[in-house]
Amino acid sequence: MSQAKDSPRKRRGAGRVTLAEVARAAEVSAISVSRYFNQPDQVSPPLRKRIEAAVQALGYVPNLVAGGLASARGRIVGMVIPNISGPIFAQTIQAFSDTLSRHGYQLLLASSYFNEAQEESAVRAFLGWSPAALVVTSHFHNPATEKMLADADVPVVEIWDYCPDRAPVQVGFLHHQVGVQACRYLLDKGYRRIAFVQNSAPGDLSALERRDGYIEALAERGLEPWVFVPSADCAPFEAGKQAMDALIRRNPRPEAIIFANDNLAAGALLAGQRAGLQLPEDMAIVGFGDYPFAEMLLPSLTTLRPPSRAIGEVAALRVLQHLGVAACVGEVQRLNLLACELIARESG
């Protein structure tokens, strides 16, 4: 690509400047150069000066691979997340990556699409890089992944979830509780016939926990649940339309609907309006995620705002604390329950 096709690349070695060459140029031993980078305090100012000059002159870039092998811990953290481009997780990744890189750690990223097999292969690959820590999403993993995570001598953080009974550090919230929260909100506003529309994407088990919370909240008041399951092969926005079209025709129709996410809710909003419904007068709509468009819709969307950024920040902080990174010192708090905020807007 950018280099010459037939560059005189050595078969072995990257041909890059090495620690030893810097040491020779600075007339010190290799280990001193190593210390210059890793424990500068332990190198006297004069040496430090000579080393710095040599590093500059030669354009030395430390070989982190070699360092990682020697020390058995690379400054790299792996994260497996359902998807990168959705509005929800992107914030978490951004915050996590930023916090990490501020302290000299790098992010190794992979997406699972809620698929446990893909998660397993990502975790396996990441473990091969002897990461300083590993972050996975939710507590749903297949047995092979569980075993790898348990056996690997690596700190593990589970995000976007909160299971006090599990060993890994937890940073997230109780999806079940969020389902309860959404449902009670509508109950308190006087709605009774409340439906729940599931995610069209299979594998999003956390969304099912929210559904179960909804069911529980209804049961508390002696009400029956009403769960709609869209076709699995349908994009979320379309699935939302489909759900609304179907639920409108029921007699009696629901007075309110909770959706597994904002994309579904947005589709439903559009379908409802197209069908001549007055929203929220004829039907209340509640989403989940507080996607950026939620406040731009007409009517604006009532939804639950997950602590996306906070999850990324807290996860990174816990990792750094565990690694003993200065400026992040402190006891590593294993349970980190964050709040999911209900944003009441026009739709419900």
Partner DNA sequence: TTGTAAGCGTTATCAC
Partner DNA sequence: GTGATAACGCTTACAA
Using the rule CB under 8 A, is 124 a contact of a copy of itself?
A: yes
52, 238, 322, 346: which one contacts a copy of itself (CB under 8 A)?
322
Provide the token pair at 283: 């039907």
Using the rule CB under 7 A, is 11 a contact of DNA?
A: yes
Burial class (CB in 10 A: 0-12, 13-18, 19+), 21: middle
Partner whose binding site includes residue 38, from a copy of itself, DNA, none (CB under 5 to 8 Å by kind): DNA
Using the rule CB under 7 A, is 232 a contact of DNA?
A: no
- Any idea how long the chain is? 348
Provide the token pair at 100: 């990490």
Q: Which is nearer to a copy of itself, 169 or 187 (CB)?
A: 169
Partner whose binding site includes residue 90, from a copy of itself, DNA, none (CB under 5 to 8 Å by kind): a copy of itself
Q: Which is nearer to a copy of itself, 31 or 65 (CB)?
A: 65
DSSP 235-279: -HHHHHHHHHHHHHTSSSPPSEEEESSHHHHHHHHHHHHHTT--T
Closest separation in Å from C-beta 74 to a copy of itself = 6
Provide the token pair at 20: 């030893």
Partner whose binding site includes residue 47, from DNA, a copy of itself, none (CB under 5 to 8 Å by kind): DNA
22, 28, 51, 91: which one contacts a copy of itself (CB under 8 A)?
91
Partner whose binding site includes residue 273, from a copy of itself, DNA, none (CB under 5 to 8 Å by kind): none
Using the rule CB under 8 A, is 157 a contact of a copy of itself?
A: yes
Question: Tokens 């092979």, residue?
Answer: 144
142, 231, 293, 337: which one contacts a copy of itself (CB under 8 A)?
293
How far is Cα 24 from Cα 43, in angstroms, rounded to an integer? 16
Contacting a copy of itself within 216-255 (CB under 8 A): none
Neighbouring-strand partners of residue 110: 80
Provide the token pair at 64: 């982190």
Neighbouring-strand partners of residue 307: none
* Residue 54, helix vs strand vs coil: helix
Which stretch of DSSP H or E encloses residue 156? strand 156-159
Which of 106, 199, 210, 202 minimizes the C-alpha distance to 160? 210
Contacting DNA within 63-82 (CB under 7 A): 63, 66-67, 69-72
Partner whose binding site includes residue 251, from DNA, a copy of itself, none (CB under 5 to 8 Å by kind): none
Using the rule CB under 7 A, is 56 a contact of DNA?
A: no
Angle of the 308-322 helix axis to the 87-102 helix axis, nearest 10: 30
Using the rule CB under 8 A, is 337 a contact of a copy of itself?
A: no
Using the rule CB under 7 A, is 34 a contact of DNA?
A: yes
Using the rule CB under 7 A, is 249 a contact of DNA?
A: no
Q: Which is nearer to a copy of itself, 48 or 322 (CB)?
A: 322
Closest separation in Å from C-beta 13 to a copy of itself = 6
25, 32, 76, 247: which one contacts DNA (CB under 7 A)?
32
Region from 176-184, 210-218, 247-255, 293-301 binding a copy of itself, contact rule CB under 8 A: 293-301
How far is Cα 246 from Cα 121, in angstroms, rounded to an integer? 39
Burial 324-340 (b: 16+ CB within 10 A, else e): ebeebeeebeeebebeb
